[in-house]
Structure 1
C-alpha cells in the first residue's frame, strides 16, 4: 500500500485523489509522501516500535521447533516440556509457548491406516459417486454390523453428577452377554433399518436382507454399500442376491470403513446410548437400542457428503507423499 501511494503521487495525482483511488485516509497519504520525500525508500520501512525486545533469539526458537520435529529424547518416544526445557536451556513455559505458536503437540498421536486394496480407486469412485449422484427410482443404503455389543453392568452403583463433580462410575463391570446390530442407513433421508441378532453369521445377514426387501417399496432398486466382511460374500448370500435382482452390491475398499456412512451413525449410537449405559441383561440392552433407533427415525438426520472422489484421492496422495516408505 505504501508503494502504491508513492507511485500514484509520482504520476502527479493529488493527495485527495490518491486517497480516494486507494481507499485510504487522506492523512495516510500525506504521512508516507512526507516520509518518502525525506528518507526515500528507507522512509517506507517501519520505525522502531516501543516495548521490550524479544528475549529469545530466533535461532533458539528454530532449534526447539526443528528438534521437536526431527528428533526424540534419549529415553522417551516423544518430547515433554520438561525434557525439551532441559535440552534447550529454556523454561518450560517458554517451550509451551513456542509449541503453541507453531501448533506442535508432541504428547498427541493419532492413528491411520492406508488401504492396500488393489481396486481402491475404482471402489472409492463407485461409492462416492452413489453419494453425490444416487440413481433414480432407487434407494442407497449403507449397511454394516456392529457386532458383539456387550451388556455391561457396573459392579457398584453409578454416582450421579453434582455441581463441581462429574458423574463417576467404577472401572470394573459384570459382563451379561452380547448382541449384534445389523443396520442400513438411508443416505437420502437418514432413516435406519435395524435388526438385532445374537450372532452375526451369513444366516443373520440374509435375514437382514430379507427385512430390507420387505421394508423398501417394491418399485425401487436397492443399492447396498457394504464392507468386505466374509458374511457378505458367501455362496448363500450370492444365491439370495441372484433371486432378488433389484439388489445391487457396492463394496468399500478394504480397510476403509470411513467411507461407509453407517459407521458414523454407529458412532452416534455408541456415544449417546451404549458407552455409558448399564444393562443387567442382553434383553435390556436390545430394548434400549431399539428405542434409540425408533427415536432417531422420528427425527432422522442424513449426513452431507461433500468431498468428491478426486478430492479424496488427491488428499490421500498428499498424505502418502509425507510418509517415508509408503510406496506408490
Structure 2
C-alpha cells in the first residue's frame, strides 16, 4: 500500500526547466539540488516512499518539500531564516576588547579565547568566531627593527642599485660571516625517517666547540667563496679579503657588507685603500637583511647545520666545506626584485603600542 502511485504533483508554468537546472547544478547547495529532484519525481507521480529511496531522504522530508513547493513554488525550496534569538554580542565589541591589554589581575600578556570569554561573560566559541571574522590573532607576535641610520636612503639606493643594475665588467659580492656555529653531537644516534614517521633526534646534546664561516656570495652566479676559521677578528677578516683577492684576480670588485666593527678597523681600511679595485658598500644600520649572503646563510643552516651531527669542530668544518662544494656545483643567481622606492616606502616608522618609543 505504501508504494502505490500518488497523485502527480502539478508544476507551475516554466518550473520544469528551472527545476531540471537546479537538480543538475554542482555550483549550488547540495540540498537544493535534492529538493528539486524530489519535486520532479513527485511530478512524475511516484510515491513518497519511492522518492525518498531514490534521493536518499526520509519520507517525512519528501512530504515536507512537496508541501513547500505547492505553497510557494521554487522559492519555497530555498532555505529560510530560522527562528531563534538573534545574536546579542556584536563581534566588533569582542575585537575592541581584544585590542586592549588584559587587566593586571590576570597576570598575562595577551588574551586567550577562554580568558576573554570569561571576562566578557560569553562563550569562547563566540570569541573565536569574532577573531576569525576580523583576522585577529592574539596568540601570534612578530618582531621589527627600525633603522636609525641618517644615510638610510642613500645606502638602500646604493646597495639595491648594485643588485638591479650591476656595473659592467665588475663582480658584486655579498660578504659576511656566520659566527658561533656550534658543533653539536647528539647523546644518542638519530632515528632515521621511515614511512609515516619523521626523523627524530634527542633533545639533549654535547657541545664540542664553535667555528666561524666567512662567505662571499657572487650575486650574478650564486657562486660562494668561503672559509671556516676559529674566530672572527680583524685578522681572520683580512685573511678572507686576501682569499677573495686571489679568487678574482684583476677584477673590479664591489663588496656589500654590514656595519660590524671588524669590517671597519684601521687595518682593514688600510688594506682596502691599498687595493683600489675593491669598493665597499655598507648596508644601513640594522639593515643587514639587505645583504643577500644572509639568504645563503639561511640555506646552509637549514640544509646542513641545524639537523647535523658533529663529533668535533674539525668534523663541522669538513661538512660545511662539503656543502659549499656541492652548492657551487648546483648554484644559481640570486635575483633581487624590490626597488629602493618600494623598500623605503615600508621603512617608514609605524605606530607602536607603547608611546614612550
Give the alignment's TM-score, normalised by structure 2: 0.73
Secondary structure of the corresponding residue to residue 225 of structure 2: strand
Residues 215-230 of structure 1 aligned to structure 2 (within 5 Å): 215-218=247-250, 220-230=251-261
Residue 54 of structure 1: how far off its partner (Å): 9.2
Larger RCO, structure (CA 8 Å, separation 6 or more): 1
Unpaired runs of 5+ residues, structure 1, are: 1-47
2:223 aligned residue? 191
Residue 303 of structure 1: CA displacement?
2.5
The yes-or-no answer on 1:131 pairing with 2:163 is: yes
1:79-228 equivalences under 5 Å are 79-218=111-250, 220-228=251-259
Instruction: Provide the residue aligned with 1:61 in structure 2.
Output: 91
Structure 1 residues 80 and 55, CA gap change in structure 2 (3 angstroms): farther
In structure 2, how many angstroms separate the alpha carbons of the residues matched to 1:120 and 1:248? 19
In structure 2, the CA distance between the partners of 1:157 and 1:73, relative to structure 1 (3 Å rule), is farther
Distance (Å, rounded) in 1 between the aligned partners of 2:79 and 2:195? 48
Aligned counterpart, 1:301 = 332
The aligned counterpart of 2:271 is 240
**Aligned match of 2:350:** 320
Q: Using a 3 Å threshold, how does the CA distance of structure 1 residues 245 and 71 change in structure 2: closer, same or farther?
A: same
Whole-angstrom distance in 1 between the partners of 2:146 and 2:219: 25
Q: Give the distance between the partners of 2:83 and 2:152, measured in 1 at CA.
A: 55
Distance apart, 1:160 and its partner CA: 2.5
C-alpha contact 2:101 2:109 (8 A) present in aligned 1: no
Give, in whole Å, the separation in 1 of the partners of 2:116 and 2:89.
15
What TM-score does the superposition give when structure 1 sets the normalisation length? Answer: 0.79
8 Å CA contact retained: 1:140, 1:224:
yes
Matched residue of 2:268: which SS?
helix
Structure with larger Rg: 2
Offset of 1:321 from its aligned partner? 4.2
How many Å separate the matches in 2 of 1:106 and 1:91? 17
TM-fit CA distance, 1:181: 0.5
Q: Is 1:231 equivalent to 2:259 in the alignment? A: no
Cα shift at 1:267: 0.5
Offset, 1:148:
1.4
Alignment partner of 1:72 out of 102, 105, 128 = 102
Distance 1:105 1:243 in 2: 55
TM-align CA RMSD: 2.2
Give, in whole Å, the separation in 2 of the partners of 1:221 and 1:233: 20
What runs of 5+ residues in structure 2 fail to find an aligned partner?
1-77
Size of the alignment, in residue pairs?
A: 278
